[in-house]
Structure 1
């Protein structure tokens, strides 16, 4: 079984990745401090954040993994474009974006963490531009939900997300997807028509480690 080195901004993502990738042995690296530092220290964000991500990935390269998986969109956004690695790097949002770009109908992308919206939508727009496709996507934030998961109120968080997703699926004649791993379980319980980042990820990881 090949190894995948996974970089998370929060430990809660570990269980979702383990469930999605049963065919791989996952090593997990969790660093919530970088995202916090970027939010609170603009000078650090501008000058040092990218170098910190590079240093972390260089360390992970030494762990004999077949691939590195980045599960945090903030880490992905901070990674310098010029960075190169001998180990394939999988950015969790790219298979998800590819799936979104295949859809011509209007779409809603649902978030619980408002601080990830701007970066995710910017990367999605750039991805669609380079794919030469036009997408009709509108972000929706579930207010007050992310505080629940950060304080360990997982069941209340899940129920809140399920309620909103259920309403969106019923009330809107549009495609709905969720942008965060913490929302996947709720989405799966509401409708199998809701797109999640994990659906296309497993196939991407499998193809990557076969090639490595």
Structure 2
């Protein structure tokens, strides 16, 4: 019997990106998507992940498991606190979209740039990087960059302005760092569109690495049940 991965998004624009990545990296796995934009909108409005939002996300994770998901991945970094809680609550794997990225970044260097378009994503990402660094016994210096105006541009459908702001910040604000972490999955396409060789440091984004982690998790599950 084939395996199933449930993906929970807070933006519909991520369904195609993650669907394509999953089809490429684990073609034998069935994937389904659940989307609730209100989760991120409420978090931005409140400036934090409210208990109500945590309960709602846990309910979505539970629904995904009941719908047949062998593992569930939440693709919104702003909800990292709630995802960590879900990992403790459910018997099936729940994957944080930014966890594999954070681990890779800490292994890459000591001075890390962290970029986001909203503060509610920047803060949990920096917290995760410090947590992973401590667990791995490594010291990190974090250079934070909030790309003002980029998220608002996306909300109006102006992806060109979003991409211009993010790419300019990559070139101007991230000089001298060992690596850059893009805190939001939606930022990944900006790097792909930039001219080859324009960035002198590695830039890590969560989509590719998180799907690789999901594949590894599912392979471990398959091995355990064999």
Of the structure 1 ranges 63-72 and 113-122, higher mean CA displacement relative to structure 2 is found in 113-122
Deviation at residue 111 of structure 1 after TM alignment:
1.1
Deviation at residue 6 of structure 1 after TM alignment:
0.6
* Aligned pairs, number: 210
Q: Unaligned stretches of 5+ in structure 2?
A: 222-226
202 and 57 in structure 1: CA distance in 2 versus 1, 3 angstrom threshold: closer
Of the structure 1 ranges 95-104 and 155-164, higher mean CA displacement relative to structure 2 is found in 155-164
* 2:10 matches 1:9: yes
Deviation at residue 41 of structure 1 after TM alignment:
6.0
Give the structure 1 partner of residue 20 of structure 2.
19
* 2:181 matches 1:177: yes
Give the structure 2 partner of residue 116 of structure 1.
121
The normalised TM-score by structure 2 is 0.81
Q: Deviation per CA, 1:134-185: give whole Å up to 9, x if none.
A: 212211111111111111112232233223223346x435322311111111
49 and 157 in structure 1: CA distance in 2 versus 1, 3 angstrom threshold: closer
Deviation at residue 28 of structure 1 after TM alignment:
0.9
CA distance in structure 2 between the aligned counterparts of 1:151 and 1:26, rounded to whole angstroms: 29
Q: What aligned pairs does 1:69-148 form with structure 2 within 5 A after superposition?
A: 69-79=73-83, 80=85, 83-148=88-153
Deviation at residue 78 of structure 1 after TM alignment:
2.4
Deviation at residue 93 of structure 1 after TM alignment:
1.0
Deviation at residue 39 of structure 1 after TM alignment:
4.9
Q: Unaligned stretches of 5+ in structure 1?
A: none
CA distance in structure 2 between the aligned counterparts of 1:120 and 1:194, rounded to whole angstroms: 15
CA distance in structure 1 between the aligned counterparts of 2:22 and 2:5, rounded to whole angstroms: 9
CA distance in structure 2 between the aligned counterparts of 1:59 and 1:96, rounded to whole angstroms: 26
The normalised TM-score by structure 1 is 0.85
Q: 1:203 aligns with which of 197, 212, 224?
A: 212
CA distance in structure 2 between the aligned counterparts of 1:39 and 1:112, rounded to whole angstroms: 11
59 and 132 in structure 1: CA distance in 2 versus 1, 3 angstrom threshold: same
